């Protein structure tokens, strides 16, 4: 039997006169401790990102060495052969050779970008931008890089400062960095960006007119996908154009809001009038029916009150109407509509199921939106799918050798470029022979896939290699001997060739009657005399 002996309680130290912290002091101490832990991790992240920037710069320096860049080229012999035969090339051959030309520097750059992007699962454009930022931070903003490596500023602070600094002439960059860097150590990113932009405007030696003219060349519009069947449309233009456009949209929205959103009010009135007309045509209304009608109108008014559009919704609807239906001053846009490809299950289209539809280049969209789009579609493309696996088997009357039908079939299958991580739409991409046609590859769906122009070149001009498995699965091997797999957006079986249509047999004239043989002699015929008006019978 064991006996537990409790240790005696230690006697209080008479020399320790520190008071017990209050609850408020304990909460304050915990707050300091937690926030310091987070700040310490941020400093560690900044130091790790600084090491990453150094590795990006080292990789660029390595790839730009002549002996390295020349060996990253996939087919330098073909380039030299094209140069040798340039004098005897036709115009089409010369144009194709120029299209497929990348020098060693371009090949090396595309190789390290694609290899890093696939390994880290980051977009190639992001890696390309990070390589430029790494080079510029180390080369043009050394003080900023040192503060970032020490954890004094964040990566966003460093890139924000770099964006403003790169637009200044070289002899003004050091002074700008010296004046603005202390602000990066004390301001949040948003306020620091505004302060850096204003200081850059004051220090820039060129006039605002010249800078605006140069910046105007970079104007663009781009689309960005968003969750839940939504998307963003970005327009980068002059400040006065973008501000004027927003002011016009906002003014129209405010006016509609003050008028009580007449578009919805008109829709509600039409719906109420339709119901009243239906009741009147029945001609058998009772007091209960009248009460029910009044209740229905009341509920309609309540629903209308709940569904009144907000200012943000009004601005969005006005923007949509102006962009989709508006016409430019020179008449462009009249009758022009954007086209999309949507795959809708037939039961969803009939309203018997709520399975989402698929928008090309985006993904699932709501069944109701798909029905609205289908209701205005001038034509349909029928998709035959397997009842259990959902694999698309055919696109209606698709012929195996019909080039137009094959292109549509491949576009539905791929939706985007088939290089790992690329999201460029198939409609703007090339149809590439996985096994090159020049090397004996067949022109069939098991040997074709969409590649955007940059990745089409990457496949042919670098050491990237690809094979295609049944079902449209592509297996890529990188120059670093890593393997990547891309699956088609919509698994599809190959289009089945249809038997030739057998029509009624047509009578053919004898061979001697053809245009290849001289006409044979035909006996002359004596015409029959006409019948008299008063025959003797």
User: Which of 20-34, 90-104, 180-194, 511-525 shows the lowest mean pLDDT across its residues?
Assistant: 511-525
How many other C-beta atoms are found inside a 10 Å radius of the C-beta of residue 162? Answer: 19
Average pLDDT for the chain:
75
Q: Are 469 and 457 in contact (CB under 8 A)?
A: no
Q: Which of 433, 434, 405, 429 is nearest to 416 (CA)?
A: 429
Name the pLDDT band for 14 (thresholds 50, 70, 90).
low
Position 2 scores a pLDDT of 44
Q: Report domain extents, the chain.
A: 29-213, 214-267+308-338, 342-380, 392-486
How many other C-beta atoms are found inside a 10 Å radius of the C-beta of residue 334? Answer: 9
Share of the chain above pLDDT 70, in %: 66
* pLDDT tens figures, 361-386: 666 777 787 777 777 666 666 555 55
Q: Which of 208, 205, 137 is nearest to 168 (CA)?
A: 205
CA distance linking residue 170 with residue 77, whole number of Å:
41
For residue 236, which phi and psi values (nearest 5 degrees)? -105, 110
What's the pTM value of the predicted model, to 2 decimals? 0.61
What would the two tokens of residue 515 be? 């245009």
Residue 533 has pLDDT above 70, yes or no: no
Strands 473-477 and 483-486 come out as: antiparallel
Name the pLDDT band for 277 (thresholds 50, 70, 90).
very low
Q: Which of 264, 297, 260 is nearest to 279 (CA)?
A: 297
User: What's the mean pLDDT in 469-477?
Assistant: 92
How many other C-beta atoms are found inside a 10 Å radius of the C-beta of residue 494? Answer: 17
Q: Which of 60, 58, 100 is nearest to 78 (CA)?
A: 100
Residue 415 has pLDDT above 50, yes or no: yes
HEC secondary structure over 204-231 = CCCCHHHHHHHHHCCCEEEEEEECCCEE
């Amino acid at each position: 039997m064991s006996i537990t002996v409790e240790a005696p309680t230690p006697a209080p130290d008479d020399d320790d006169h520190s008071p017990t912290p209050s609850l408020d002091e304990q909460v304050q101490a915990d707050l300091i401790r937690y926030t310091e832990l987070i700040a310490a991790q941020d400093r560690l992240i900044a130091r790790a990102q600084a090491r990453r920037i150094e590795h990006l710069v080292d990789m660029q320096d390595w790839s730009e060495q002549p002996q390295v860049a020349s060996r990253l080229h996939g087919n330098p012999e073909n380039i030299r052969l094209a140069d040798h035969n340039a004098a005897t090339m036709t115009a089409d051959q010369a144009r194709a050779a120029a299209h497929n030309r990348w020098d060693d520097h371009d090949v090396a750059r595309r190789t390290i970008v694609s290899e890093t992007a696939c390994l880290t699962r980051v977009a190639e454009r992001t890696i390309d931008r990070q390589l430029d930022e790494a080079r510029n931070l180390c080369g043009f903003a050394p003080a900023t890089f040192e503060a970032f490596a020490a954890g004094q500023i964040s990566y966003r602070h460093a890139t924000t400062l770099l964006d403003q600094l790169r637009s200044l002439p070289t002899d003004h960059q050091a002074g700008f960095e010296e004046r603005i860097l202390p602000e990066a150590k004390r301001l949040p990113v948003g306020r620091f960006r505004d302060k850096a932009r204003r200081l850059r405007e004051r220090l820039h030696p060129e006039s605002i007119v010249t800078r605006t003219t140069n910046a105007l060349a970079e104007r663009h519009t781009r689309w960005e996908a968003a969750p839940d069947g939504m998307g963003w449309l970005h327009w980068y233009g002059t400040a006065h154009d973008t501000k004027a456009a927003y002011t016009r949209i906002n003014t129209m929205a405010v006016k509609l809001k003050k008028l009580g959103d007449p578009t919805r009010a008109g829709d509600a009135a039409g719906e109420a009038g339709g119901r009243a007309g239906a009741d009147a045509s029945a001609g058998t209304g009772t007091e209960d029916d009248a009460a029910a009608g009044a209740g229905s109108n009341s509920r309609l008014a309540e629903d209308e009150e709940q569904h009144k559009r907000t200012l943000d919704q009004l601005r969005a609807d006005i923007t949509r109407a102006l962009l989709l239906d508006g016409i430019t001053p020179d008449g462009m846009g009249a009758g022009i509509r954007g086209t999309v490809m949507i795959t809708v299950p037939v039961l969803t289209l009939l309203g018997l199921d709520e399975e989402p539809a698929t928008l090309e280049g985006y993904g699932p969209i709501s069944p109701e939106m798909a029905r609205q789009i289908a209701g205005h579609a001038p034509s349909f493309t029928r998709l035959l799918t397997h009842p259990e696996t959902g694999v698309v088997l055919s696109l209606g009357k698709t012929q195996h050798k019909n080039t137009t039908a094959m292109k549509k079939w491949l576009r539905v299958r791929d939706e985007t470029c088939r290089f790992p991580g690329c999201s460029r739409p198939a409609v703007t991409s090339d149809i590439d022979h996985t096994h090159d046609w020049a090397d004996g590859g067949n022109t069939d769906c098991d040997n074709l896939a969409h590649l955007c122009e940059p990745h089409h070149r990457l496949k042919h001009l670098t050491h990237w290699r690809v094979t295609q498995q049944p079902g449209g699965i592509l297996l890529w091997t990188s120059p670093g001997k890593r393997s990547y797999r891309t699956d088609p957006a919509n698994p599809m079986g190959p289009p089945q060739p249809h038997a030739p249509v057998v029509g009624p047999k047509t009578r053919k004239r004898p061979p001697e009657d053809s245009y290849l043989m001289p006409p044979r002699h035909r006996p002359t015929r004596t015409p029959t005399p006409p019948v008299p008006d008063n025959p003797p019978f």
